């Protein structure tokens, strides 16, 4: 039996197993739109850790480890700008899921998510 995410009204359905797909109100966005692996990994990280503010330093340490980049902070800000632009193109300008907050980024709590890995973990616990 194929169990697909059952989105609640207004929720963002997030599939991370087997590629990334975001679905909101029937509009789908997949990692095929933009092949930048780092972009999708940062987005997935923020979604998975949406219950807390993720410090910029944590994101830089994870996604630019030992990078000889002159300015990883600027690279992070540029990447987040690109993520926001892709999300706005797909889900509308009013869709603002990532909020900058005192040196951190946090997923907007007003945007509920149904995430496949969380559903999978729950099914494993109940089995």
What band does 39 get if pLDDT is binned at 50, 70 and 90?
A: very high
Question: Do residues 54 and 101 make contact, with C-beta atoms less than 8 angstroms apart?
Answer: no
> 14-18 contacts: CB < 8 A, separation 24 or more?
14/47, 14/113, 14/114, 14/115, 14/116, 15/116, 16/44, 16/47, 16/48, 16/115, 16/116, 16/117, 17/116, 17/117, 17/120
Q: What is the mean pLDDT of residues 10-26?
A: 92
Which residue do the tokens 């973990």 mark? 121
pLDDT of residue 8: 56
pLDDT of residue 47: 96
pTM of the model: 0.86
pLDDT of residue 117: 94
pLDDT of residue 27: 93
The DSSP call for residue 11 is P
């Amino acid at each position: 039996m194929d169990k697909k995410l059952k989105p609640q009204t207004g929720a963002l359905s997030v599939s991370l197993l087997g590629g990334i797909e975001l679905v909101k109100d029937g509009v789908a966005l997949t990692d095929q739109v933009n092949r930048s692996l780092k972009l999708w990994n940062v987005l997935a990280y923020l979604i998975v850790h949406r219950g807390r503010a993720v410090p910029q330093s944590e994101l830089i340490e994870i996604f630019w480890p030992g990078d000889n980049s002159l300015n990883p902070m600027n690279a992070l800000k540029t990447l987040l700008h690109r993520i926001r632009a892709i999300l706005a193109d797909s889900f509308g300008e009013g869709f603002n899921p990532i909020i900058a907050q005192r040196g951190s980024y946090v997923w907007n709590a007003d945007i509920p998510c149904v995430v496949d890995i969380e559903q999978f973990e729950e099914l494993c616990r109940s089995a």
